[in-house]
Structure 1
């Protein structure tokens, strides 16, 4: 029983010891006490068999406990990994938007100062300060969420105001956006609203970085079972340095992890780069999107 139950000892060794024990019992009775007969042999062999069975049961129990511990550790690791990915996604969105916008503003301020347009440079500096303050507040919120994660709760939020603010910020940085809204916006689960806002933020940041001063077409399509975001930007005449690709990856992760599912498709076609992000608002829509 001890040999078979011990996980660091090969199970065959315990079985061999049990088999040798049966041979010794039967041989000992036959040689030393033949008068005990077959019943004694069977009884003692049965006792050894019970020990073997008990060893296998204990071994299986220990293996099961080890497997359960392994599963628990894997779940903890998965939660920690998901938390790190979420934090990296939030910080990327915040930094790409705020620092990218600051770079644009500082370049513009430098050009305005060289041209002697002091008042316009001062206006740009004010916008840069406001952008930096918003970026710092968003970064603090992300860090606070990591240090003291809030309990999960379901609230509905209308993302329209946040989207409008991002559009105004893009225009203040010298960009132009043609906006089209199909359907009436409404409050949606907070996760969906956040995904839509972050997708707009990332798309406009990419437009400023890869196609500065190019017109951006942004459309939001509201339906009963889904909301679809499309952002289209002309491809630059000259190839632009590629980034790390974390923005689009984070966008896909956000939409795919939504309660009812979602998807993101991005790519170049006919001289334009288009991002299409769709979030399901009902289970039926999610199933349809999955097919």
Structure 2
């Protein structure tokens, strides 16, 4: 059932309930108050109750019918009874579904129409209880509407926040993929240019490595962008980079002239997709920084599989400093990745020279 039909069904049910209450309760109310109940009394009760069927679509029409019918009912001297419940619902609906200004004007007009019987009866004291049948449901309707609007704004703000976070995540993924690939290609291109005239056969190997690295970077970039449309955990795990591709990363680095040694402690096992990706990106970005900034250096990658966390450490023997103009994105991006998973991240000069990056990623 669509939302519109569901609301219409609810309104029909509400109108039916108030109709039964009105028809069944008006007679006893007349007997208790010593007032006459006629056929026209029930016509007015039925008319006011049935007007609630369209209350969400035409709240002003519903209020006009309810106010006119209820006022006529009271002016004719019929007993105070269940018809006032339907009028109360009509006022609440107007305040709930219309902006404040038109709702207030319409409710004030309904109050004037409702109080016509006090002029006919010559009973000015009836103004106060009569006004309560408008003021109370009006205040309740406005309160509910403002609360719903505030909740809707909060949901919109949260959705925008999620969208911003997703854009930042994709931007970080693209930065890591493209940054690493271009750094490796740049290094291999310099090697090829240096060897082109002296050792053409070695230059050809460097150009082959450039072709392979660029192809792999493009493939990974396509996968990363495709992940924007993926939501299931199994799809994410099968498509994203992870520590299972660490050997390929090390091989690409070695081709650029940066020897990389990998040391693993603990029992290697499957990790949650987010942790696996973050660990891989920390290693990838750290090795990219080695390639960019460390000069002639070697690097050591240490992975520690502990019961409650995974530790990632990358140490190089280069110049011992990473300079990123304007603050850069590499170290900042790694820190944000790790912090998002509740982990700890440190980066700085290593003992004995070089640079050290260390991350601790907690496991669920």
Shift of residue 155, structure 1, vs aligned partner: 5.8
Tell me which of 195, 198, 202 is aligned to 2:278.
195
Q: CA deviation at 1:213?
A: 1.8
Q: Distance in 2 between matches of 1:264 and 1:238?
A: 17
**1:287 aligns to what?**
none
Matched, 1:281 2:352: no
Return the offset for 1:183. 1.7
CA contact (8 A) 2:298 2:318 kept: no
Aligned residue number for residue 149 of structure 1: 230
The alpha-carbon deviation at position 136 of structure 1 amounts to: 0.7
More strand by share: 1
| CA-to-aligned-CA distance 1:214-242 (integer Å, 9 cap, x gap) | 12232111111111011123452798553
What residue is the counterpart of 2:171 in the other structure?
A: 88
Question: How far apart are 1:73 and its partner, in Å?
Answer: 1.1
Matched, 1:267 2:348: yes
Residues 129/280 of structure 1: CA separation in 2 closer, same or farther (3 Å cut): same
Between 1 and 2, higher relative CO (CA 8 Å, sep ≥ 6) is seen in 1
Aligned-partner Cα distance in 2 for 1:83–1:142 = 12
SS in 1 for 2:311: strand
Match of 1:204 among 282, 287, 292: 287
Are the counterparts in 1 of residues 195 and 202 from structure 2 also a CA contact under 8 Å? yes
Note if 1:173 corresponds to 2:269: no
Q: Which has the larger radius of gyration?
A: 2
| Alpha-carbon distance between aligned partners in 2 of 1:139 and 1:215, rounded to the nearest angstrom | 27
Deviations 1:14-44 (A, max 9, x none): 9xx89xx9xxx9xxx9xx99x95xxx44432
TM-score by length of 1: 0.77
CA distances 1:33-83 after superposition (whole Å, capped 9, x unpaired): 9x95xxx44432121133222221111121022112212211221221122
Counterparts of 2:144 and 2:307 in 1: how far apart (Å)?
52
* Superposition misfits of 4+ residues, deviation over 6 angstroms: 1-6
Structure 1 unmatched ranges of 5 or more: 283-291
Superposition deviation, residue 265 in structure 1: 2.0
Cα distance change on mapping 1:240 and 1:230 into 2, 3 Å: same
- Give the TM-score, by structure 2 length: 0.62
Q: Which residue number in structure 1 is paired with residue 265 of structure 2?
A: 182
Q: 2:200 aligned with 1:118, yes or no?
A: yes
Structure that is richer in helix per residue: 2
Contact 2:313 2:357 in 1 (8 A): yes
Corresponding residue number in structure 2 for 1:128: 210
User: How large is the Cα RMSD of the aligned pairs?
Assistant: 3.3
Offset at residue 149 of structure 1 (A): 2.1
